[in-house]
Structure 1
């Protein structure tokens, strides 16, 4: 039998009864283990994520089977490379106690423990998003959360915002389609969503989008099916993922990319960095890269899932950013959220720590348990003459040509309707009917003038879209 101890390894004589002044007397402050247990319990919950609060995760591996070295020098993408990873799935709008089978966008965040450091790809199960400028992001999230007066979710706020920001129509159509409620995390695709850059060994830049195509097949739930599941199991997706991995039924995804040269991107009729739009496959066909597999469950949910911290700011040589305005803002906002939620040294937690060598001059701060070779050598600043870590200009990226004056530019591309129309046109008739029904259901309690604004937008996408929603609203 193992000896029960305090957090500092001191043996505990009794863990059943508090220390009191006599059998019926008051408790004593010197009962340090009672104080420790109560104080620790008060701190067992860290602030939940403002977005993507409810999540599940698993470990796995990325295996590169194709040669794409002409696009990137990143070691993680060289043929034959195998990279361990952690993939966290989540819902976006719900709190930590939300049901897994709710209609919502699903987060698809991957932490790759590469030989060149951690690379985080923070995506969703949709290739687009509601916004293209992060200036609107806090307001958008407010519409998805609880009304501060009623403390209830507010469909009126959601549709009011969407109808005033028609760039969201593409994502709204996806959300209200069959794919708005995946049957499980295993049965959905994942996307990097943003445009990133690849840098090859010749220091040439390419724009890239990442796709993860499920090998389990796409499976979705209707509203009625989801309601039946939620009534019995609010953790349906977590249960499905955990149990399948425990059985050895490891989920897999095909990894693909889309590539555009800088010249090709400059000639497009739409902004290739607009997160509300996709790159049509006829312009940028999918390129096979490899396979991703999940094969191990976390052993401690809090340590390995709740404390997992992702940020698109974590990149490796050969992978870079783009002028995508949403991505640019997330480069700051994601790590800042983790500094607030987990502390300044969240990167030292085992689930977040790089498996490659780390040399940094960031020191001190709460929960700092890293020593670092630099500090051992006495080098805690840079530049120094103490043999500390130094910069290496070989990792500089090629220049990104920037034109124009600093200003608060409105998007030039106001075509909010073509891509949603293209999506609507390829939907089978039965899915269109479910789309109409789902939208009508989501509009319960929404003001008539807001519904009418939405119908005008649907009319501009396609007359059949508007007519279908109208009929569904009348039922």
Structure 2
């Protein structure tokens, strides 16, 4: 039955309706007032009204000692933080994972009794999850952000989780500040803007008041924050762990993962374009590589420091804002991690996998790193709400390979059917099973570390050097990398609306490098403050003296570290690199086939881009199938570009604005470009052609990354060498073009 459309209300009747709506809205607002909090001018308290004297430090056994469980302020703060968002992860929400194996090269028995680091014959299954940190599940892969790199080793002694990042340090030194950091970097609470970005007031307000973040900010503003691929980034355990051998001897260790494809990044402008063209770029890249059999590989490396050398460095091993420079302690490769199988179900595996820094096996133990100590509590607490209760370890992706027997029972989603009368220990009704295990038989025992200290909320003075390693990182970068860092800071701080925050941040940058601060100040139209506002460090307890918390200026033992610059990464392979070949009807089939053959023989992926999808008819009537049209493809999705010959094809591409833009954009992003000599007129239509050298030989071609030649096979071989170099960042400034 049809319903008659109501007539629009007029005059007094409409006015009464509006009045009722306003009254309803006012009533709703009024009803919320008792539940509305405004912290302006108020004192800090716990959720139960206890006034907080120190919100900066967790309670420890001595200023370098273990964090104490009795710290009710830390527990309340982190518990509340862990349960703030459901059901997605509070951080690392957007991720991608894969299965694989770890194969040990050589037994590490002198350092650890961990079985998977002793047995070279056994492949240890793994599941690895990569992620961005700040964004939601629906955000882009190409945000400027830290990347998570978490590995679950399913060992014969139980699960070992190495919960790391693609950067070796962190923003904060104490887990007490973790909720503050994440609150600051997340979208601003009044409008939920911006998503998956640190370029806003609250983040830089926090960072500019917390100089301990300076080192990590340098990494975040570097090209490490916009990797080319998950397969082309390093992984780090971040914290200093312990290794313990069968005799009970302890060593300190830092875990590293180095990709066999090298460490590579994209340009920031390119990253922003990729976010629009394919926000799943990294997830798709990982999936496609594994599906094609080009399995991603990393070497697991260890930096081992004997316990007796704990205090020999000019930094504190327990400080998570510090690295151990590889020149001081080399990274020893001990095994290879290979990812060889994609998940069968994203939710069941990648989304439900639960990592925990506290999942360790005999032979690996913790240190008193105060950030690590807080994570030991936080990770389990987070899974309780995200995965429905205390039985999250029974979800298949989280189950260890070894049998599980204990007296834990019941709870939400319990899947194990336990038999027997006794669920306690000791018991006589069940033969006292399950039995405790002697250390000699593989039972886990904590390292017997001597602790003799007072309970304090404090940090060691050895944690007060905030700038020496930030300076070391900046000094270690190549000139293009330094320019990228300055531009990233100008971009990020340019989004900050509060000028005082920008000014304060310039003061922090001045502590790191004068030239960097000057370049950023110029880009922001500001001057560097002559006298820094005091205190420089605002992370001070209520009764603390600012001078007791001011940063200490230390001089690093190194002026620069080669390992910190991506300019020195591996550049010998083009395996899995994606090359666009621009074609149209009338293309020279010989040059297309020759170049594809050379590149694909070295493991690259060559795809044909044409004005339209469907068949492309070559000059000799060979039929090629276009992989993409210019409408669905973009240069930012490829690592390099080739333009083959063929009179008609060349003429069509020269007249195709999208083809010319494709080349201009690839040049702007410093990628290798090759062309058959017949295709010169296409290059002549670009902005960059007039900037190229007058004459070309192999030397100039490999310096510029532009290869032009009559012989497609020879051109392809030189082109492959250029692609392996990844980018030609040196041409970025002098060859800048509009695109």
TM-score range, shorter chain: 0.7 to 0.9
Distance in 2 separating the partners of 1:152 and 1:398: 46
**2:425 — aligned with what?**
382
Distance in 2 separating the partners of 1:288 and 1:190: 13
**2:512 — aligned with what?**
461
Instruction: Encode CA deviations 1:23-45: one digit per residue, 9 max, x unaligned.
Output: xxxxxxxxxxxxxxxxxxxxxx9
**1:348 — aligned with what?**
394
Distance in 1 separating the partners of 2:352 and 2:311: 40
Measured after TM superposition, the shift of residue 152 of structure 1 is 1.1
Out of 142, 152, 165, the residue aligned to residue 101 of structure 1 is: 142
TM-score where L is the length of structure 2: 0.57
**1:64 — aligned with what?**
104
Measured after TM superposition, the shift of residue 227 of structure 1 is 1.1
Moved more, 318-327 or 47-56: 318-327
Distance in 1 separating the partners of 2:350 and 2:487: 35
Measured after TM superposition, the shift of residue 423 of structure 1 is 0.8
Q: Confirm or deny: 8 A CA contact 1:59 1:87 kept in the other structure.
A: yes
**2:341 — aligned with what?**
296
Distance in 2 separating the partners of 1:393 and 1:155: 54
Instruction: Encode CA deviations 1:349-398: one digit per residue, 9 max, x unaligned.
Output: 00000110111211000110112xxx324331111121311222413234
**For residues 155 and 46 of structure 1, do their structure 2 counterparts lie closer, same or farther at Cα, with a shift above 3 Å needed?**
closer
Measured after TM superposition, the shift of residue 95 of structure 1 is 0.5
Query: Is 2:123 the counterpart of 1:82?
Result: yes
Distance in 2 separating the partners of 1:308 and 1:355: 15
**2:475 — aligned with what?**
425
**1:137 — aligned with what?**
178
Measured after TM superposition, the shift of residue 79 of structure 1 is 4.1
Distance in 1 separating the partners of 2:86 and 2:101: 29
Q: Confirm or deny: 8 A CA contact 2:145 2:225 kept in the other structure.
A: yes
Moved more, 310-319 or 446-455: 446-455
1:140 match: secondary structure: helix
Measured after TM superposition, the shift of residue 404 of structure 1 is 2.1
**1:357 — aligned with what?**
403
Distance in 2 separating the partners of 1:121 and 1:86: 11
Distance in 1 separating the partners of 2:327 and 2:177: 31
**For residues 59 and 46 of structure 1, do their structure 2 counterparts lie closer, same or farther at Cα, with a shift above 3 Å needed?**
farther
Query: Is 2:442 the counterpart of 1:399?
Result: no
**1:439 — aligned with what?**
489
**1:232 — aligned with what?**
277
Moved more, 63-72 or 396-405: 396-405
Measured after TM superposition, the shift of residue 266 of structure 1 is 3.1
TM-score where L is the length of structure 1: 0.88
1:111 match: secondary structure: strand
Distance in 1 separating the partners of 2:447 and 2:294: 44
**1:16 — aligned with what?**
none
Distance in 1 separating the partners of 2:414 and 2:100: 28
Larger Rg: 2
Measured after TM superposition, the shift of residue 282 of structure 1 is 3.2
Instruction: Encode CA deviations 1:228-281: one digit per residue, 9 max, x unaligned.
Output: 111111111110000110000000001100111211013333210111000122
Distance in 2 separating the partners of 1:46 and 1:164: 30
Q: CA RMSD in A?
A: 1.5
Measured after TM superposition, the shift of residue 472 of structure 1 is 2.8
Q: Confirm or deny: 8 A CA contact 2:353 2:397 kept in the other structure.
A: yes
Instruction: Encode CA deviations 1:48-76: one digit per residue, 9 max, x unaligned.
Output: 00000000000001110022110000001
Distance in 2 separating the partners of 1:145 and 1:356: 39
Distance in 1 separating the partners of 2:452 and 2:327: 29
Measured after TM superposition, the shift of residue 468 of structure 1 is 1.9
Measured after TM superposition, the shift of residue 46 of structure 1 is 6.4
1:163 match: secondary structure: helix
Q: Structure 2: any 5+ residue segments left out of the alignment? A: 1-84, 527-739
Query: Is 2:315 the counterpart of 1:270?
Result: yes
Greater RCO, 1 or 2 (C-alpha within 8 Å, sep 6+): 1
Q: Confirm or deny: 8 A CA contact 1:46 1:342 kept in the other structure.
A: no
1:289 match: secondary structure: strand
Distance in 2 separating the partners of 1:352 and 1:289: 25
